[in-house]
Structure 1
Amino acid sequence: MGAREALPKYFAILEGEDIPNFFITRRIKLNFNENLDLADLWNIHDEGMDKLRENDLDGSGHKNLLDLKAVIADKILENCHLCEIRCGINRKKSIGYCRVKESLIASDFLHYGEEPELVPSYTVFFSGCNFRCVFCQNWDISQFRVGVEIIPEYMALKIERAYRFGAKNVNFVGGEPTPNLPFILQTLRHVNVPIPVIWNSNMYMSTEAMKLLDGVVDIYLGDFKYGNNECARKYSKIPRYWEVVTRNFLLAKNHYRAEFLIRHLVMPNHLKCCTRPVLRWIAENLGKDVRINVMFQYRPEYKAMEYPEISRMLTLEEMEEAEKIVKNMGFKNALVG
């Protein structure tokens, strides 16, 4: 077995036999006033999601469910709780904890270094992040405000151009895409090519952001870093990591036609506390058929040399142990290495 068995809907989109979720979400017609308060907009959103799940495309309205998701995301910016840091900052006026105010594109290109089924992937790197990973390999964009501001209509044109040049998907990453969810939703309102949406994330979204992503994301490319809260707090300065990330994977499991590709970066001296519990949780809660990528690409970047236990590359013994864990847990669609 392999990627095709784990990601059947994704491959059906690539082969022209299906369409991406956001195309269907745009067909759910709704009427709403953008000036309503958030509670009322959420109620209309829930009704729209019911229509989506029932495949009720017969409604009337001048707007659609994707329009509504974009409006709600924009309103959340005024008291930002897109991620579980919930800093509450008005990001229309100030920079949030994530160092994001307006969305900045650090780079975008056809990426050939992702998993085989994803390449070439039109990868959009946002600057800013809600994590403070001491070993971050993209620290130059995740921990700083860099890049250019692009209007959503132009970003949509860039996505369409990439699709015509062979991109199999649009891959929103960073940094972290979560603080940029309003921009992403606005962009997808204008995209007119059937390109699958990849959410390449640390999976620390709020429950509200998860509701907005439902019906939009085709593949959750989730980065499942830690097997406990202590390591997450020490190396990424993140509270309640395990509770939030496992909750979000379970929520995503029930999202409209969503599929998974889960990455786990093996870290030196962290097989017992992180690799084993992460893989065990995936096997028990998402199944052994799920597509996973257990990666050996760790290298001590950024501030990692300040932490002796992670200041080196993996040993051969650690790689072999990780391979053994994957095999013994019975994963059928795993990439290892």
Structure 2
Amino acid sequence: MICRLCPRECGAERTEGLAGGICGQPSLPVAARAMLHRWEEPCLVGVHGAGAVFFSGCNLRCCFCQNGPISQGGIGKPLTAPHLREIFQKLVDLGAACLDLVTPTHFTPVILEALGDVPWPVPVVWNCSGYEKPDTLRLLEGRVQVYLPDLKYALPEPARTYSSAADYFDWASAAILEMFRQTGPYRMEAGQLKSGVLIRHLVLPGELENTRRVIDWVSETFRPGDVLFSLMSQYTPQPGATGKLSRKVTAAEYRSAAAYLRNCGIRDGYTQERTSAQEEYTPEFDLSGL
């Protein structure tokens, strides 16, 4: 296929056996791990964990990615749609609180085939970078119950520097509005998120102004009870990181971001302990569960 699924619109030819484009993947899904994942937000984990499938490749390719071995390093196992459906079913049978599809955008057509038309007994979660095309998201309407987008940047300069995507906010803000149009205000049952939008933002060292502008947009765009917001402290410097990204977020930086969040009136969601900035929170991408 000539791929235009994401905002890069690179027009690469991606077939079952031919990888290409910014994501560097073929048209059939490639994944690096399927597991009951306990380190998502509490409303997604339940008793046994979120049923996470970590897809390989990424259209954004941030230089600080904690999943670098699979997003950019080529690790992964090719899957067919029937095999992927079997993985989904196995995770549900193991007691997964949701189907957590991590970095799925570049495999959208085949994931939809694997999901099928009959609703699953647990919510389907679209866990993505936020760098999405609304046209692609519209293909998911009625098939995805929970959207879990990052909102990494509101300023063009860090988006350009760290992800080569100066237009990130334009696309991400439009994408989140489309996600909210589909799901409406979030809905919880017994502490578990059944439908809605949960926006994540990772605080980056030395980039508090970017964090403030992200929070401003969310607080000005949505009313209390519309969306959930997760302010993450878990940035971990990756090998070769330089400049601002060579250190973790300080306690003072994260306290400032959390205080700004509260002052803007955002109460629905999560903050993190700074102990979350540890490599142990990133799974081993050893192809298990596939």
**Residue 191 of structure 1, CA deviation:** 6.7
RMSD (Å), alpha carbons:
1.6
Pick aligned residue for 1:96 from 8, 13, 21: 21
- Which structure: greater helix fraction? 1
Distance in 1, Cα, partners of 2:101 & 2:62: 19
Distance in 1, Cα, partners of 2:183 & 2:109: 19
Q: 1:80 to 1:335 in 2, by over 3 A?
A: same
**Residue 215 of structure 1, CA deviation:** 1.9
SS of the residue aligned with 1:301?
coil
- Unpaired runs of 5+ residues, structure 1, are 1-77
Conserved 8 A contact 1:81-1:206: no
Query: What is the aligned length?
Result: 255
- Could you tell me which residue of structure 2 aligns to residue 163 of structure 1? 92
Pick aligned residue for 2:77 from 145, 148, 152: 148
SS of the residue aligned with 2:78?
coil
1:124 matched to 2:59: no
SS of the residue aligned with 2:113?
helix
One-letter amino acid of the counterpart of residue 34, structure 2: D
Conserved 8 A contact 2:117-2:143: no
Conserved 8 A contact 1:104-1:145: no
Identity among equivalent positions (%) equals 35
Distance in 2, Cα, partners of 1:270 & 1:288: 26
Question: TM-score, with normalisation over the residues of structure 1?
Answer: 0.72
- Could you tell me which residue of structure 2 aligns to residue 265 of structure 1? 202
Q: 1:181 to 1:166 in 2, by over 3 A?
A: same
**Residue 291 of structure 1, CA deviation:** 1.0
**Residue 239 of structure 1, CA deviation:** 3.5
Q: Deviations over 1:168-216 (max 9, x none)?
A: 110111xx21101112101001777422110000121223212112222
**Residue 139 of structure 1, CA deviation:** 0.5
Pick aligned residue for 2:141 from 208, 214, 219: 214
1:177 matched to 2:104: yes
Question: For the pair shown, which has the larger CA radius of gyration, 1 or 2?
Answer: 1
SS of the residue aligned with 2:83?
helix
SS of the residue aligned with 1:155?
helix
- Could you tell me which residue of structure 2 aligns to residue 283 of structure 1? 219
Report matched runs for 1:73-112 at 5 Å: 78-92=1-15, 93-101=18-26, 102-112=28-38
Conserved 8 A contact 1:265-1:296: yes
Pick aligned residue for 2:232 from 267, 287, 295: 295
- Unpaired runs of 5+ residues, structure 2, are 185-194, 273-290
Q: 1:254 to 1:192 in 2, by over 3 A?
A: closer
SS of the residue aligned with 1:254?
helix
Deviates more, 1:205-214 or 1:185-194: 185-194
1:197 matched to 2:124: yes
